[in-house]
Amino acid sequence: MGKYIIKRLLMLIPVLLGVSIIVFVITHVFSPDPAPVVLGQHATEESMEAWREANGLNGSVVSQYIDYLGGVFRGDLGNSYYTKQPVAKELSSRFPATIELAVVSVILAAVFGILIGVVSAVKKNSIWDSGGRILSLVGVSIPIFWLGVIMIIVFSGTLHWLPSGGQIDPLLKPKSVTGFNLLDCIITGNTAGLADSLKHMVMPAMALSMYSLAIITRITRTSMLDSMKQDYVRTARAKGISEGKVLTRHVLRTSMNPVVTVIGLQFGSMLGGAVLTERVFAWPGIGSYIVECVQKSDFPVIQGAVLLTATIFVLVNLAVDIIYTFLDPRIKLGKKEG
C-alpha cells in the first residue's frame, strides 16, 4: 500500500510536466502579448519593452519555460503581473473559499444523491423512481450559469430571502485565523457572521451540487440494481436476513465503489474552482479568480492555478483508490489480482 501510494505520487511528476507544458504553450505561444493589457491605455513601445524584459518574456519560449520550471522546483510559481504578489500566496488566499464551497456542495450532493438513488433502485419503475430519474436528468442537463441566475432572481430578486452573492457581509467578516470563513466565524464566536455566511452559502452550494447530485443519483441507482441481481443477495434473502439488512449490508455497500469514484471526481473538479458558480455568485474562490486572470492575461497566475488544479485532481483520485480498499476488501492496491 505504501509503495503504491509513493508510486502514484511519483506519477504526479510527468502529469504536472505535461500540464505545465500545455498551459505554458497556450499562454506564451497562442495568446497575444500581455504587455499592452497590463500597462493599459498609456503603454508606449518602450514601457512595454521594459515590462517584457522585467517579466522575462523576451527570451525564447523554451528558455522561458526552463526558467519557469526551475522556479517551480524551487517552490516559486512566479509573481502576479498585477499585484506583484507571489502566485502561491495569491492562490492560497483564495483557496479556502473554494474548499468550503466544494465540501458543502459535495456533502449535499452525496447525501441527497445516494438517498434518491437508493429510493429509485428499491422502488424501481415506481413514481418515486421516475421522479428521481427526471431530477437527475434535469440536474445533468441544466447549465449551471442559468440555474444560478434563476436562483438569484427567485430567491434574492423576488423573494428577498437570500443574499445574491459574496461570502459574507464585509462588516461581519471575522479575523482570519485559519483562512476558512466558516471556521473562523466559529472560532471567534462570531454568530452573526456565521449565520450570514451560511445564508450566503445556500445558493452557490445548491447550484454547484446540482450536477454532482444528479450523477451520483444515477450511478447509485444503476449500481444498486446491479448488486440486487447478484447471487449473494439472493442467498442472503434465502437465509432469511431482513430486507433492511440485505439492502444496507449486502447491496448498498457493494454498490458504493463506483459511487465513491464519482464523488471523488466531482469533489476534485469542484476544488479546481467552480468557475461558473463562483462567478455568478461572486464567490471569492479560485474559479472566479482564474476567469479574472484570463481576462487580464495574468499568465503566472493562470499557470499556477492550472498546476494546482491538476495536482488536486490526481490526489483526489488517489484518495478514491485508497477508499476502495476499505469498501471492497478484495481490492489490494498495487498487487496484481489472480
Which residue from 140, 282, 327, 333 is in contact with other proteins, where contact means CB under 8 A?
282
Decide if residue 34 touches other proteins (CB under 8 A).
Answer: yes
Burial class for 242, CB neighbours closer than 10 Å (0-12, 13-18, 19+): exposed
Decide if residue 177 touches other proteins (CB under 8 A).
Answer: no
Decide if residue 280 touches other proteins (CB under 8 A).
Answer: yes
DSSP letter for 175, please: P
Which residue from 217, 297, 303, 309 is in contact with other proteins, where contact means CB under 8 A?
297
Decide if residue 180 touches other proteins (CB under 8 A).
Answer: no
94 versus 219: smaller Cβ distance to other proteins = 94
What is the C-alpha to C-alpha distance for residues 306 and 41, in angstroms, rounded to an integer?
Answer: 29
The residue among 237, 297, 314, 333 whose CA lies nearest residue 27 is 297
Half-sphere exposure of 328 (CA within 13 A, CB side): 17
What is the C-alpha to C-alpha distance for residues 185 and 173, in angstroms, rounded to an integer?
Answer: 8
What is the C-alpha to C-alpha distance for residues 93 and 286, in angstroms, rounded to an integer?
Answer: 9
298 versus 321: smaller Cβ distance to other proteins = 298
- Shortest distance, CB of residue 74 to other proteins, whole angstroms? 22
Stretch that binds other proteins, among 5-13, 221-229, 236-244, 311-319 (CB under 8 A): 236-244
Binding mask 87-116 for other proteins (x = CB under 8 A): ---x--xx-------------x--xx--xx
Stretch that binds other proteins, among 189-197, 210-218, 252-260, 305-313 (CB under 8 A): 189-197
Residues 130-159 that bind other proteins (CB under 8 A): 149, 152-153, 156-157, 159
Decide if residue 318 touches other proteins (CB under 8 A).
Answer: no
3-class DSSP state for residue 214? helix
Stretch that binds other proteins, among 63-71, 239-247, 251-259, 304-312 (CB under 8 A): 239-247
Grid-cell match 441566475, residue found:
149
Which residue from 234, 242, 253, 331 is in contact with other proteins, where contact means CB under 8 A?
242
Contact indicator for 106, 267 with CB cutoff of 8 Å: yes
Decide if residue 288 touches other proteins (CB under 8 A).
Answer: yes
Which residue from 102, 247, 263, 306 is in contact with other proteins, where contact means CB under 8 A?
247
205 versus 318: smaller Cβ distance to other proteins = 205
* Residue count of the chain: 338
Decide if residue 32 touches other proteins (CB under 8 A).
Answer: yes
Instruction: Name the H helices within the chain.
Output: 2-28, 35-39, 45-54, 61-73, 87-122, 127-141, 144-151, 181-187, 191-228, 231-238, 243-245, 253-271, 275-280, 286-295, 299-327
Contact indicator for 200, 166 with CB cutoff of 8 Å: yes
